[in-house]
Amino acid sequence: MSLGPSGEAIVLIGRKPTMNYVLATTLPLNEGRKVVVKARGRAISKAVDVVEVVRRRFVKDVQVENVKIGTEEGRVGSDGRPRNVSIIEIVLAPPTSATSSASSKKK
Amino acid sequence: MSLGPSGEAIVLIGRKPTMNYVLATTLPLNEGRKVVVKARGRAISKAVDVVEVVRRRFVKDVQVENVKIGTEEGRVGSDGRPRNVSIIEIVLAPPTSATSSASSKKK
């Protein structure tokens, strides 16, 4: 876990078990901080799983503030050729957050 | 491909090659219709790939109007026990769309 520009926690989804990332996401939310869950390629499915487990079992009133999809260019594949990879970024805000730029609880 | 309540095309991502779904998504967009790309479980990553390929190579000015994540409950797994599965729905609007309820080109 690392920190983003405005102090939000960043959880980058990789090959560890889902529950590892669920915990890494739950802890900062419980401290009242925002979390950005990021994933690339096949880990994108796991990122959605992580957010859904957090939302349903650990931090019930978490707000899914934004879901962004995109492409990361120029990564080099196992064959040495550049290839693009899809990415997802899911921004989660803690339940009691009355933050400034929040986009008013859209579902 | 099927039709949603307001005439939008629905593309459900499965096990076929990515380009099949890219085509199924591009055609209605080129006819000026909205498309909802839906996927469950591991296919979620492929859904993001499909949207990114469409956006970068086929329909450059497509608008990603909304990305919704959620959980589908009560599906029965291979062991006969009920299990939850994550889902994603990505709403795409054609470039020239001046639709009513559009959320004004947010990125």
Residue pLDDT, tens place only, A39-91: 999 999 999 999 999 999 999 999 999 999 999 987 776 787 778 999 999 99
Report residue B31 as tokens: 């006819």
Does the CB of A67 have a partner CB in chain B at under 8 Å? yes
Closest CA to A44 of A24, A6, A72: A72
Domains and CATH numbers, chain A: 2-102 (3.30.110.20)
pLDDT (tens digit, 9 = 90+) per residue, B3-18?
777 789 999 999 999 9
| ipTM for the whole predicted complex goes beyond 0.85 | no
Report residue A14 as tokens: 């990789």
Q: At A73, is the secondary structure helix, strand, or coil?
A: strand
In the block, residue with structure tokens 């020239």? B96
Distance from CA of B104 to the nearest CA of A (A): 14
Instruction: Give the one of B45, B64, B90 whose C-beta lies nearest to A45's C-beta.
Output: B45
